[in-house]
Amino acid sequence: MRDLADRTDVAELVTGFYRAAFADPLLGPIFTEVAKLDLERHLPIMCDFWETVLFRADRYHRNALQLHLVLHARHPLTAEHFDRWLELWNQALDDRFAGPVAEHAKVQADRIAASMLRRLAGRSGSAFETITRRPDQEPADARLNP
C-alpha cells in the first residue's frame, strides 16, 4: 500500500471515512439528522482541513471548535462518539494507506478528538491540563517577588 502524498489522497481518505460515518448507527444520525450535513459541500472543507493538518497546506481557516460547540449544544457529543469517529477514521486509513503520513494522520486525529472532547466539556484543550503544582508549593511568581 502507498502512503498519503497529496490532496487527491486526502480526498480519497475523507470520502471513504464520511461514507462509513454516514452509514454508522452511532454517528450517522448526528451527521444526517442533527447537523443535516450536506456531504457534497462538506467534503472539500474537510479536504482543506486534513490537507492543512497533514501537509501544512494552509487551506483551512475556519473554527472547527465553534462548529462542534454548536452541534454539541443540539446533541451532546460524548467520548463514545469520538471513540467511534477515531475507529472509523483509522479504518479508512488502514483500508487505503500505509506509511509515515498515514500514521501521522492517526496521531493527529487522536489529538484532535481528545482536545475537542476536553474543550466541549469546558476544559482546556491541552493534554497537559492535569499537571498541577503540589499543594505545599507556592506559585513561582510569589517566590520571585517577595
Q: Which range of residues forms the domain containing residue 81?
A: 7-126
Specify if 135 maps to a domain.
Answer: no
Q: What is the mean pLDDT of residues 19-29?
A: 97
Q: What is the mean pLDDT of residues 96-111?
A: 98
Specify if 65 maps to a domain.
Answer: yes
Query: Cβ of 46: how many Cβ atoms within 10 Å?
Result: 19
Q: What is the dihedral sign for C-alpha 8, 10, 15, 17? A: positive
Give the pLDDT of residue 65: 85
Q: Which band of pLDDT confidence, cut at 50, 70 and 90, is reported for residue 144?
A: very low
Specify if 38 maps to a domain.
Answer: yes
Give the pLDDT of residue 86: 98
Q: What is the mean pLDDT of residues 81-106?
A: 98
What is the per-residue pLDDT across 115-138, written as a single tens digit (0 to 9) for each? 999 989 887 666 665 555 555 555
Q: Is the Cβ–Cβ distance between 99 and 4 less than 8 Å?
A: yes
